[in-house]
Amino acid sequence: MSKGHELKIDRVEYVEHVLLRGLALQFPMLVKEERLCELRAWLNKIADELEGSLPKEKIDEAKSRIDIDKITMGLSKDLDYMGKRHFLEKITPWMVEHHMYSKHLGMVGRPDKLILIDGEIIPSIIKTGDKPRQGIWGYDRLQLTAYAMLVEEEFEVSVKQGFVEYVRFGELRDAKIKRWDRKRVLLILTRLKKITDGMLPGKSKRAPCEHCGFVDMCNMRKSLLSKFFGD
């Protein structure tokens, strides 16, 4: 954008992401009040609020790609497995999109949620894409770890775990914050510093191009660093 290019944010994939994220933020209220049957109505409400800012045909197409029955089934399964109280503890935010900055690490972050359970502050992220068969994706683990490091510095606490909501499936998964992942985050920060100094890595196989507003003008090729950034 600083070079005069216009950011396009009307891609169907982007609209779908916005709809799913908005829906995920309603989960705590709907679970607490036992109103999961209203998920579709809330999706329509969120979509209506987007009209005027995004093309209606893109909104309608994005809505058609969201399987409300699958989301409801996933939420109901987690609810039955964990029990209402514990499930609500894990999805109800203490803070939403709390901005954090670490001068020491040279890193900023804004997790979707910070969850507070028995005095423990737990970062939680909302993901609108696919889910792995078990656990969480490696890049989700690194993102959680980075947020955990920011939480530890700002609140002077120890963070041992994080949550990932795979909203498309209505599933909540937890993950331990591991020492090796902390080291990987520090390594990534070192390489990001090189980017700010002018070195741009190539595009990895896993690059989330469907969410990028500049995908039509991207000509990046795979480089030696791509393997690392694709993990």
Q: What is the CATH number of the domain that holds 164?
A: 3.90.320.10
**Whether residue 77 sits in one domain with residue 16:** yes
Q: Let me know if residue 76 belongs to a domain.
A: yes
pLDDT for 37 beyond 60: yes
Is 70 contained in some domain? yes
AA letter at 144: L
116 and 184 inside one domain: yes
Give the model's pLDDT for residue 184. 95
For residue 227, the model assigns a pLDDT of: 44
In a domain, residue 105? The reply is: yes
Instruction: Say yes or no: 56 and 124 in one domain.
Output: no
DSSP β-ladder status, 171-176 and 113-117: unpaired
Torsion angle of C-alpha atoms 99, 209, 164, 83, degrees rounded to 10: 120
Last residue of a domain, which of 63, 91, 119?
A: 91
- Rounded to whole angstroms, the Cα distance separating 147 from 154 reads 11
Nearest partner of 195 among 222, 229, 148, judged by Cα: 229
CA distance 155 to 150: 8
CB neighbours of residue 101 within 10 Å? 14
User: What values do phi and psi take at 136, rounded to 5?
Assistant: -130, 160
166 and 211 co-located in one domain: no
> For residue 49, is pLDDT > 90?
yes
Verify that 158 and 222 share a domain, yes or no.
Answer: no
Number of domains in the chain: 3
Model pLDDT for residues 119-155, shown as the tens digit of each residue: 999 999 999 999 999 999 999 999 999 999 999 999 9
Please give the residue range of the domain that contains residue 106: 93-199
CA 164 vs CA 183, 192, 229: distances in Å: 21, 24, 20
Q: What is the mean pLDDT of residues 197-217?
A: 70
From 200, 206, 196, select the one nearest 225 (Cα to Cα).
200
64 with 138, same domain: the answer is no
Q: Are 157 and 215 members of one domain?
A: no
* Per-residue pLDDT at 226: 41
Q: What is the pTM for the complete model shown?
A: 0.84
Q: How far apart are CA 228 and CA 15, in angstroms?
A: 29
| Residue-level pLDDT at 212 | 73
Q: Clarify whether residues 222 and 129 are in a common domain.
A: no
- At 192-206, the pLDDT tens digits run 887 777 666 666 777
Whether residue 1 lies inside any domain: the answer is no
Question: Which is higher by pLDDT, 99 or 217?
Answer: 99
Same domain assignment for residues 101 and 72: no
pLDDT digits (tens, 9 = 90+) for 61-96: 999 999 999 999 999 999 999 999 999 999 999 999
Q: Cα–Cα distance between 134 and 123 in angstroms, integer? A: 20
* 194 Cβ contact partners less than 8 Å away, ≥ 6 residues apart: none
pLDDT of residue 218: 66
Per-residue pLDDT reduced to its tens digit, 87-115: 999 999 999 999 999 988 989 999 999 99
